């Protein structure tokens, strides 16, 4: 019996990378999940959602929609099981509207989390938005805002290749900013879904999106000294790409190297260099799903919330994947088990794995 008691904590640590933090003090999970086209079966005026209708290309029926909701809820519930607690804050992307968000948080598998929702309709032509789930007993909501994409001339990006007509025609999802408190400490959460890699000009658009988020974060730091900021999302870029390293100022691989208030710590910068992936793009592993923190959360005063190492007591981020979320055979073996494959509904989960961090005081 004594031997069992000694072994059990080690087994729990191996099974639950964040559980040690949950058990050793007040700590919370903060994460992001790209839900891969969470559409309902109804047309939203002004949006190109026709493929997600019963008579559309995906023959998107109520039964398929219900399966998709169940799958998304299952992943969120499995993260709770793994961590011993629901996410305090969970950013999501590729959601069509408030209706699908309400349906998701009311799924039986996660209804006990009592998630509240922050969401704004954005001008993205496909109709996909970002949103934030939060637990009101932990995060005390104060305010929020959608931050639109703009072709501002006051930027380091050269827009000379863009005509005014192209600029006017370009529509993408807003960045969501939500501000509130956790245990009296001020936090701001940014949820991003930066422009995709489809088309030839995305290399300019993603740095601009990162710059927009960064500039607003710096404004908040001036307005609320000491505010703790988390920038998360599907960046459509890796932690090593210029949008993250130069425009979001997250180029420090080690947390101790983050020195300035104008810098962010990206836990996934070291992880991608060591072979971790949250999705596969053109056959290569990437981490587009990033959660990063400002200096105030990377190096917090004693007794306040600070980001914690959670994987092997070394990495400060986690890519959450389980066998049921992963293709086990065939051409796509080892990659995320998605909703559609080769144009056919296969009943999977998402083409992205969720990622998260843990904060603790």
- The verdict on pTM exceeding 0.75 is yes
Q: CA 206 to CA 190: how far, in whole Å?
A: 15
Left, alpha or beta for 347 (phi > 0: left; psi -120 to 50: alpha)? left
Span 287-302, pLDDT tens digits: 999 999 999 999 999 9
pLDDT of the residue at 16: 54
Per the CB < 8 A criterion, the answer to whether 267 and 310 are in contact is no
- Side-chain half-sphere exposure of 67, counting CA atoms within 13 A: 14
Residue reference for tokens 């836990």: 267
Q: What is the pLDDT of residue 6?
A: 32
CA distance 100 to 104: 6
Q: How many Cβ atoms are within 10 Å of 262's Cβ, its own excluded?
A: 12
Count of C-beta atoms within a 10 Å radius of residue 245:
19
Helix, strand or coil, per DSSP, at residue 114 = coil
73's enclosing H/E stretch is helix 62-83
Give pLDDT < 70 ranges for the chain. 1-25, 199-202
92 phi and psi, to 5 degrees?
A: -135, 160
User: Exposed e or buried b for every residue in 11-24, given b needs 16+ CB within 10 A?
Assistant: eeeeebbbbbbbee
Specify the pLDDT at position 343.
82
Distance (Å) of CA 133 to CA 82, 100, 105, 119, 178: 19, 13, 8, 9, 10
Q: How far apart are CA 80 and CA 233, in angstroms?
A: 20
CB atoms within 10 A of CB 241: 19
| pLDDT for the residue 12 | 36
Q: Would you state the pLDDT for residue 15? A: 44
* Collapsed DSSP state (helix, strand, coil) of residue 267: coil
Q: Which residue has the tokens 């599907």?
A: 234
Helices (H), 110-199: 164-169
Q: Which pLDDT does position 161 carry in this prediction?
A: 85
Q: Are strands 185-193 and 284-286 parallel, antiparallel or unpaired?
A: unpaired
Nearest residue to 358 via CA among 303, 286, 297 = 297
| DSSP-derived secondary structure for 301-340 | PTTS-EE---BTTTBS-EE---GGGB--SSTTTTSB--SE
- How far apart, in whole angstroms, are the C-alpha atoms of residue 133 and residue 113? 10
């Amino acid at each position: 019996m004594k031997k069992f008691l000694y072994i059990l904590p080690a087994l729990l640590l191996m099974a639950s990378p964040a559980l040690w933090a949950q058990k050793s003090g007040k700590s919370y999970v903060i994460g992001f999940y790209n839900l891969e086209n969470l559409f309902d079966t109804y047309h939203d005026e002004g949006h190109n959602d026709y493929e997600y209708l019963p008579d559309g290309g995906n023959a998107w029926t109520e039964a398929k929609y219900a399966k998709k909701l169940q799958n998304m809820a299952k992943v969120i519930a499995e993260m709770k099981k793994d961590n011993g607690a629901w996410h305090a804050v969970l950013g999501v992307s590729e959601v069509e509207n408030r209706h699908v968000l309400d349906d998701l948080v009311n799924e039986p598998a996660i209804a006990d989390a009592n998630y509240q929702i922050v969401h704004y309709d954005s001008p993205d032509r496909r109709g996909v938005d970002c949103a934030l789930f939060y637990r009101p007993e932990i995060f005390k909501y104060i305010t929020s805002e959608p931050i639109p994409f703009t072709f501002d001339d006051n930027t380091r990006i050269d827009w000379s290749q863009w005509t005014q007509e192209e600029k006017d025609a370009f529509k993408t999802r807003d960045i969501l900013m939500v501000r509130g408190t956790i245990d009296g400490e001020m936090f701001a959460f940014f949820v991003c879904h930066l422009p995709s890699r489809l088309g030839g000009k995305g290399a300019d658009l993603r740095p601009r999106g990162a710059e927009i988020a960064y500039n607003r974060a710096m404004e908040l730091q001036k307005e609320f000294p000491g505010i703790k900021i988390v920038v998360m999302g599907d960046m459509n870029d890796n932690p090593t790409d210029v949008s993250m390293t130069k425009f979001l100022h997250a180029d420090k691989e080690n947390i101790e190297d983050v020195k300035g208030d104008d810098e962010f710590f990206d836990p996934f910068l070291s992880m991608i260099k060591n072979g971790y992936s949250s999705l596969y793009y053109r056959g290569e592993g990437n981490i587009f799903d990033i959660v990063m923190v400002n200096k105030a959360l990377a190096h917090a005063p004693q007794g306040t919330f600070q980001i914690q190492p959670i994987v092997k007591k070394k990495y400060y981020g986690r890519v959450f994947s389980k066998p049921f979320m992963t293709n086990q055979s065939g051409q796509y073996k080892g990659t995320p088990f998605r909703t559609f494959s080769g144009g056919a509904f296969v009943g999977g989960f998402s083409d992205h794995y969720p990622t998260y961090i843990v904060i603790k005081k």
